[in-house]
Structure 1
Amino acid sequence: MDDKRTCRLIRSSRTYLGKQGFNYAEAISKESVGSQGICMHLLTIPPGKRAKAHLHQDHETAIYVLQGKCAMWYGDKLEEHMELKEGDFLYIPAGMPHLPYNPSDVESCTSIITRTDPNEQESVLLLPELDAIYEKKQS
């Protein structure tokens, strides 16, 4: 990474597999542009797919749904639920357990995701015990 301070254009051509189980389109991060306080990525959730339950320690998340619908279980035991549609904004406070998924069997959901952690994955803490709770909800 060049240490010279300047504006950087990113044409997202690289994806990476996140700990949460989704492929993210690389955009703004410490790794891509040397950002110090934010990261931003594009995420498309395929029909019927879900993330692994997780939280972002010490970092807030803001999401904007560009296309489709998605849903999310959240809370200490994933006891809360919400559905989002195209044009919705979502705020997730630091340390909030959540499990996003795409409830559609046919349409993908695409969102812009921004966090106050400049690193692509460092603040992701997987919560496998909550995945088990989610599986029970689905059966």
Structure 2
Amino acid sequence: MSDADEVIRIRPGDRVVSDPTPGKTREQAIATDGLWSGLVRTEAGVTSGWHHHGDHQTSIYVVEGTVRIEFGPGGVHAADAGPGDFILIPPHLVHREVNAGSTPSQEVVTRSGTGPVTVNVEGPAPAAG
């Protein structure tokens, strides 16, 4: 039987730390052609580095804590989410996560696409003006 013919279970101990971005811990559970899925943690009071996810579309489900996604020219736009919320981030959108709460945040993240999963950058394009 090939992997395509069976269900594969990934236990917590099977996850591997991957795709580092300052301020975040990503634990990869699944990485196949076109799909990445894992658990992401951000400690309380931490702001991640600026990054994007290349050609990947990203779906985030917030399990616990709070998450603020800062994005757009100058990083002036933001979307806030908490437990039970989903976030959708389009390919190539430069952004960073902020955990302004007093407890760590934890999210289940799934990405669909090809190429590098995380591209760290200096920051977003400057705001017009």
- Compute the TM-score of the two structures, normalised by the length of structure 2: 0.82
The equivalent of 1:12 in structure 2 is: 12
**Matches of 1:27 and 1:74, distance apart in 2:** 26
1:28 & 1:129 partners in 2: Cα distance? 28
Whether the aligned pair in 1 keeps the contact of 2:30 and 2:36 (CA below 8 Å) is: yes
| Aligned equivalents of 1:76, 1:95: Cα separation in 2 | 13
Corresponding residue SS for 1:27 = strand
List aligned pairs for 1:41-120, cutoff 5 A. Answer: 41-104=38-101, 106-117=102-113
Q: Which runs of 4+ in 1 moved over 4 A?
A: none
Identity over aligned residues, as a percent? 22
Unaligned runs of 5+ in 1: 30-34, 134-139
1:27-76 CA distance string (max 9 Å, x none): 111xxxxx222111111211111221011111100001011111111114
Distance 2:36 2:114 in 1: 5
Letter in 2 for 1:28: I
Contact conserved, 2:58 with 2:91, CA < 8 A, in 1? yes
CA RMSD of aligned residues (A): 2.0
2:123 paired with 1:126: no
Say if 1:43 and 1:70 are closer, same or farther in 2 by CA, change over 3 A.
same
- Structure 2 residue identity aligned to 1:70: V
| Residue-pair matches, total | 121
Other-structure match for 1:27: 29
For the residue of structure 2 that corresponds to 1:77, the secondary structure is helix
Q: Specify the code of the residue in structure 1 equivalent to 2:40.
A: L
